[in-house]
């Protein structure tokens, strides 16, 4: 079994059924996917298909988190900006009232402070800033692991080219399956950990 045939020759392309879309598009949700079943009489082709399936899942996961961070980032900027403006106004207006520069400004200063507190409380309660940071961290972690997978897969392919091959074709296929399985478990664990952190915010 020549493993160079297992290595994808290029990035996955979008098919007629919409699978294999660009990584920049956001999937509908992080749901499970049907495991590709096929004829193992051609193990090289099956391993190539599994690699593409695993890689596409990781790209979709990273794209989902990168897309999810957009509205959270905007919300975090608005809330933190509102808190900063409210705090500044709450400190400045009473001073202006005391100096006589702006009469009756002190009550508005208290309202501004209340607005700042409301922005901070809303950010913490809804987890906007923390969610944005979790999305970025998870997407980067998935991308790092995907890069490691790509090099591991290339290493398995080069091993067969430079030979002699280690063990039988069955052992080579088992090594490739183990690489894909470990990567899938790592990505699943990243998503599980991020979801657990998200649930903690609402306790």
The alpha-helical segments, DSSP class H, found in the chain are 43-99, 106-126, 128-162, 169-200
Query: pTM, whole model, 2 decimals?
Result: 0.70
Could you tell me which residues come within 8 angstroms of residue 93 by beta carbon, excluding any fewer than 6 positions away?
102, 105, 106, 108, 109, 112
Alpha-carbon gap, residue 156 to 144, rounded angstroms? 19
Alpha-carbon gap, residue 133 to 142, rounded angstroms? 14
Please state the domain count of the chain.
1
Confirm whether 30 is domain-assigned. no
Exposure string over 95-134, b if 16+ CB within 10 A, otherwise e = ebbeeeebeebeebbeebbebbeebbeebeebbbbbbbeb
Confirm whether 15 is domain-assigned. no
What confidence tier does 19 reach under pLDDT thresholds 50, 70, 90? very low
pLDDT over threshold 50, residue 6: no
Extract the tokens encoding 203: 């306790």
Confirm whether 146 is domain-assigned. yes
> Which of residues 17 and 110 earns the better pLDDT score?
110
Extract the tokens encoding 82: 């509102």
Confirm whether 1 is domain-assigned. no
Confirm whether 23 is domain-assigned. no
Please write the tens of the pLDDT for every residue from 37-95. 777 777 778 888 899 999 999 999 999 999 988 888 899 999 999 999 999 998 898 88
pLDDT at 2: 41
Confirm whether 7 is domain-assigned. no
Alpha-carbon gap, residue 126 to 135, rounded angstroms? 14
| Omega prior to 164 cis, within 30 of 0 | yes
Residue 75: exposure state from Cβ atoms within 10 A (0-12, 13-18, ≥19) = middle
Confirm whether 184 is domain-assigned. yes
Please write the tens of the pLDDT for every residue from 123-170. 988 889 988 999 999 999 999 999 999 998 888 878 766 665 566 777
Extract the tokens encoding 2: 């020549």
How many C-beta atoms lie closer than 10 Å to residue 148's C-beta?
13
Domain that holds residue 61: 42-200
Confirm whether 167 is domain-assigned. yes
> Which of residues 9 and 193 earns the better pLDDT score?
193
pLDDT at 31: 67
């Amino acid at each position: 079994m020549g493993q160079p045939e297992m290595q994808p020759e290029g990035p996955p392309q979008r098919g007629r059924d919409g699978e294999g879309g660009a990584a920049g598009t956001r999937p509908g949700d992080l749901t499970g996917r049907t495991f590709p079943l096929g004829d193992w009489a051609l193990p090289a082709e099956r391993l190539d298909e599994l690699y593409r399936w695993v890689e596409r899942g990781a790209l979709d996961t990273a794209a989902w988190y990168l897309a999810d961070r957009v509205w959270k980032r905007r919300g975090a900027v608005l809330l933190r900006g509102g808190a900063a403006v409210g705090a500044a106004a709450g400190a400045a207006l009473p001073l202006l009232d005391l100096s006589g520069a702006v009469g009756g400004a002190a009550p508005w200063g208290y309202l501004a402070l209340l607005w700042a507190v409301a922005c901070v409380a809303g950010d913490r309660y809804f987890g906007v800033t923390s969610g944005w940071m979790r999305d970025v961290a998870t997407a980067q972690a998935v991308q790092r692991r995907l890069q490691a997978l790509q090099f591991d897969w290339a290493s398995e392919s080069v091993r067969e080219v430079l030979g002699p091959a280690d063990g039988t074709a069955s052992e080579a296929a088992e090594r490739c399956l183990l690489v894909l399985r470990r990567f899938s478990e790592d990505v699943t664990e990243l998503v599980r950990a991020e979801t657990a952190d998200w649930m903690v915010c609402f306790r």
